[in-house]
Structure 1
Amino acid sequence: MATVDDCRQALYDLAARLDADADARGRLDLDRTLACRVTDLGAAFHGRITGGRLVDITDGDDPKAKIALVTTSEHLLALVAGELDVTRAITARQISIKANPFDLLKLRKLL
């Protein structure tokens, strides 16, 4: 099992990857709040997707977030590392993403 610090670092790594990828920023034209809930650790993080970037990542849940990712620590790390396909993970119920359908389609491009 991964730690809370590992999960936090994975989200920071994802944010850095998006910052460096101009193509991803162009494909991800959302402005939404995001919550990431890590079920096996009882931890949560939240931030904002804006201008194709993931910003303002901080500890704690945001119950009003427009997009919510719910998963375990190991699946979060695998997803961010590109080792877990988001579509297969959703189908296998390894992750759950609560978002409107249009946002979900855009998020597939991110992960």
Structure 2
Amino acid sequence: MANPAECRAALIQLSENLGNAKGDVRAAAALDRSLTCWITDLDLTFTGRLRDGRIEDITELPGKPAQKAQLRLAMKGDDLVELVNGRLNFASAWASGRVKLEASILDLLQLRKLL
């Protein structure tokens, strides 16, 4: 089971990956939205802001997200690490329920470019 430090490192790596993206992926990541990532097996929430293709101001809080962010992710810590390392496909993980993503329909349409 991934620990909190590994989950934070995965989010930092995801931020780097998004920041280095090109084309449609870069455009999709260029949203300015609040973000939460609830790590269900650790009952830990990471909050931040997706801005200019990076995740900024990452903080860690115990429990479920206290506030409703514009982009909301929920998954196990191992799945987060696997997604960022490229060993788990986001679309199939989302379709199977391993990863949950909630956002407005317009944001979902924009974010589909990341898949």
When the two structures are superposed, what TM-score results if normalisation uses the length of structure 2?
A: 0.85
Check conservation: 1:46, 1:62, Cα contact below 8 A: no
Match of 2:8 in 1: 8
Once the two structures are TM-superposed, the CA of residue 18 in structure 1 deviates from its matched residue by: 1.9
Assess if the C-alpha contact under 8 Å between 2:75 and 2:100 holds in 1.
Answer: yes
Amino acid in structure 2 at the alignment position of 1:99:
A
Which ranges in structure 2 are unaligned for 5 or more consecutive residues?
A: none
Please say if 1:19 is aligned against 2:23: no
Q: Describe the SS at the equivalent of 1:8.
A: helix
How many angstroms apart in 1 are the aligned matches of 2:68 and 2:36? 9
- Residue in structure 2 matched with residue 91 of structure 1 by the alignment: 95
Contact 1:37 1:71 (8 Å CA) reproduced: yes
1:35 touches 1:62 (CA, 8 Å); kept in 2?
Answer: no
Q: Is the 8 A contact 1:46 1:59 kept in 2?
A: yes
Q: CA deviation at 1:80?
A: 1.4
User: What is the percent sequence identity of the aligned residues?
Assistant: 39
Instruction: Provide the rounded CA distance (Å) in 1 between the counterparts of 2:19 and 2:30.
Output: 13
Range with bigger deviation, 43-52 or 25-34: 25-34
Return the TM-score normalized by structure 1. 0.87
Find out whether 1:74 has 2:75 as its counterpart.
no
Structure 1, unaligned stretches of length 5 or more?
none
The structural deviation recorded for 1:29 is 3.1
